[in-house]
A and B are shown apart, each in its own frame.
Chain A
Amino acid sequence: MLGTDLEQTVFVLAPTGRDARLIADTLLKADVRAETCSSSDELCKALEAGAAAAIVSQEALAPDALDDLARHLEAQPFWSDLPILFLTFTGSPSAENIAGANAAKALGNVTLLERPIRPETLRAAVRAALRARMRQYQLRTRQESLQHAISELEQFAYSASHDLREPLRNLSIFSELLMKQYSAALDDAGKQYCQFVLNGARRMETLVDDLLAYTRLSENGDNGDNDESAATDAGKCIEMVLNSLAPAIRESGADIQVEKLPVVGMRSTHLYQVFQNLLHNAIKYRGQSPPCIRVSAVRDQGFGWQFAVKDNGIGIRTEYKERIFGLFKRLHNTTEYSGSGIGLAICQRIVQRSGGRIWVESEPGRGSTFFFTVKS
């Protein structure tokens, strides 16, 4: 049988071959594809290959067979929730209830059907199960095409970034050479034009680099270095960030206070990028006085840790609080503040991918505090 046929097939597990055959025949009369299984092992194998639903009668399932089946069902992909029709035993009422309740608990998507069952009732229950299963298949198809579209888009962005850089490099270097080697032949306007070309190319390169960093975050959720453990000492991480920002800190006269920070469940390269972007912004968007920045962390109920990076900079108007995390969203022109508008988008993507959230509280002229949550 083909895989797609199996996916339309109801598998029947009943203790005697005769019972299973009877049920299967009842379904076949309603044009439902049905196959019998002689053991729970066989049923589990059938489910691995693909199945629309399963009909299981209580006496066919020993306790360890129930566990086996439950394990198989637990391993289903996220879109799949196999409908199980469980035929309860016509014995003593209490035994019935316990077996049915156990099965329902262990097997998830279970409909209990009490015997003796009328053929029409069985067929209706099976039809309902099949309808639900078809919806699950639709969900799978959607998911697959979405996944495909995403990976194509990422591939596109990645190679575009590679191929874009080459002509930009030529622009930068040769306008630089023009200014250096031909400055005598150029008047002031000519030199200025060269400078415009150079600035434009350099800026575009920054954009491409940042875009690359952003798309790289999506490749298998890592940054190219797989051997890193997910436990990161945030204190050590921020020390590294402060080292890398030392020239900007010196130049701006920034006062940066870091409280004791915990060990958190995030790759160090990712936490580094988040801190780096937030601190860099805190220094860059400063007001009249030198930046005063405070980094702290408190326990976040039920999740892990909530970090705060607080500054005394120019602040952000309420209507922009959401927008600043978007890709290429900038609030200033490039002569006021340089940048590509990707930094906060990268932060948001990193934090959200690890299950946390990031937001800002701010008042124009009174500084901003960026918060983000990380698992312990």
Chain B
Amino acid sequence: MVVIEDNPGDIYLIRYALGLHAIEDLTVIRDGEAGYEFVTQIDRGLATAPQVFIVDFSLPRRTGPELLELIRASRACAGVRIVIASSSRSPKDQAVARKFGADCYFAKPSNFEEYIQIGAIAADLLHDRP
């Protein structure tokens, strides 16, 4: 599991939520450019593709949709599942995420119980449950 997210609060919550589903093997990348390089390295065989990416929509330097496009264009990442997590509830952003091939759009809620649902979503994608 790879999380590309810049906000420390969100990273904490995502880590917590995944922990509830016994997902401890987690790589965290803290900005868009580093995420871009990571995917490029996977393509060159220098890094292993994860099963699931959780990508923030608005990252510094490279946006979530840019990363989505790159991951979907990468052969080494074929079949990888992607969750786009976003602060926005805009239908436009959801449409953009779908267009670039996200498996799921998670509108980050401002309530703890709802937020940690992202753990269940990621776990389902990881274990290939519908």
Residues of A that sit less than 8 Å from B by CB: 162-163, 165-166, 168-170, 172-174, 176-177, 180, 201-202, 205, 209, 212, 216, 224-225
CB nearest neighbor in A for B56: A166
B88 and A173 within 8 A (CB): no
**One of B7, B9, B58, B91 near A162 (C-beta < 8 A):** B58
Q: Which of B21-29, B107-115, B122-130 contacts A (4 or more CB under 8 A)?
A: B107-115
Residue among A165, A176, A212, A224 making CB contact with B111, cutoff 8 Å: A176
Chain B window 78-100, contacts with chain A (Cβ cutoff 8 Å), 1 for yes, 0 for no: 00000000011111100100000
Is residue B42 contacting chain A, with contact meaning CB distance below 8 A? no
Interface centre among A162, A165, A170, A173 (most CB of B within 10 A): A173
Closest A residue to B113 by CB, please name it: A176
Given contacts A165-B87, A216-B90, contact A201 B112 (CB under 8 A): no
Q: Given that A170-B7, A173-B13, A173-B115 are known contacts, is A162 also in contact with B87, CB under 8 Å in the complex?
A: yes
Are B88 and A162 in contact, with the CB atoms below 8 A? yes
18 intermolecular pairs with C-beta atoms under 8 Å apart: A162-B58, A162-B87, A163-B87, A165-B87, A166-B87, A168-B110, A169-B87, A169-B108, A169-B109, A172-B111, A173-B13, A174-B9, A180-B112, A202-B110, A209-B89, A216-B90, A224-B92, A224-B95
Of chain B, the residue at the smallest CB distance from A165 is B87
CA distance A5 to B45 in the complex (A): 59
Residue numbers in B under 8 Å from A174 (CB-CB): 9
A25 to B52, CA, bound (A): 76
Q: Are the C-beta atoms of A165 and B88 separated by less than 8 Å?
A: yes
Q: Are A169 and B110 in touch, CB under 8 angstroms?
A: yes
Contacts of B58 on A, CB cut-off 8 Å?
A: 162-163, 166
Question: A224 contacts B91, CB within 8 Å?
Answer: yes
Bound-state Cα–Cα, A225 to B95, Å: 11
A176 near B112: Cβ-Cβ < 8 Å: yes
- Contact indicator B110/A173 (Cβ below 8 Å): yes
Annotate B8-35 by CB proximity to A: 1 below 8 A, 0 otherwise. Answer: 0110010000000000000000000000
How many B residues touch the partner, as a band? 10 to 19
What residues of A have a CB within 8 angstroms of the CB of B9 in the complex?
Answer: 169-170, 173-174
Task: Give the CA-CA distance A225 to B109 in the complex, in Å.
Answer: 23
Do A201 and B91 form a contact, CB below 8 Å, given A173-B13, A173-B115?
no
Chain B residue at smallest Cβ distance from A212? B90
A166-B10, A224-B90 known; 19 other A-B pairs, CB under 8 Å? A162-B87, A162-B88, A163-B58, A163-B87, A165-B87, A166-B58, A169-B9, A169-B108, A170-B9, A170-B10, A173-B9, A173-B13, A180-B112, A205-B110, A209-B89, A224-B91, A224-B92, A224-B95, A225-B91
**Top 9 closest pairs, chain A to chain B, by CB:** A170-B9, A172-B110, A224-B91, A169-B110, A165-B87, A166-B87, A162-B88, A173-B112, A176-B112
- Among A166, A174, A212, the one with the most B-chain Cβ atoms within 10 Å of its Cβ is A166
Q: In whole Å, how far is A143's beta carbon from the nearest beta carbon of chain B?
A: 27
CB distance from B89 to the nearest CB of A (A): 8
Q: With the chains together, A163 CA to B95 CA distance in Å? A: 19
Q: Complex: how many Å from CA A69 to CA B21?
A: 73
Determine how close the nearest CB of chain A comes to the CB of B78; give it in whole angstroms.
Answer: 31
Which chain B positions have C-beta within 8 A of A212?
90
A173 to B118, CA, bound (A): 14
How far does the alpha carbon of A180 sit from the alpha carbon of B95 in the complex, in Å? 36
Produce 1/0 per residue, B59-88, CB < 8 A to A: 000000000000000000000000000011
A169: B residues at CB distance < 8 A: 9, 87, 108-110
Contacts of B87 in A (CB 8 A): 162-163, 165-166, 169
List residues of chain B with CB within 8 A of the CB of A202: 110
Using Cβ atoms and an 8 Å threshold, which residues of chain B touch A216?
A: 90
Q: How long is the Cα–Cα vector from A173 to B8 in the complex, in angstroms?
A: 13
Q: How far is the CA of A162 from the CA of B107 in the complex (A)?
A: 12
Which residue from chain B places its CB closest to the CB of A209 in the assembled complex?
B89
| A166-B7 CB under 8 A given contacts A173-B13, A212-B90, A225-B91 | yes
Report the nearest B residue to A219, measured CB to CB: B92
Inside 8 A of B115's CB, which chain A residues have their CB?
173
Q: How far is the CA of A225 from the CA of B110 in the complex (A)?
A: 25
> Which residues of chain A have C-beta atoms less than 8 A from B110's C-beta?
168-169, 172-173, 201-202, 205
Complex CA gap A172/B91 in Å reads 23
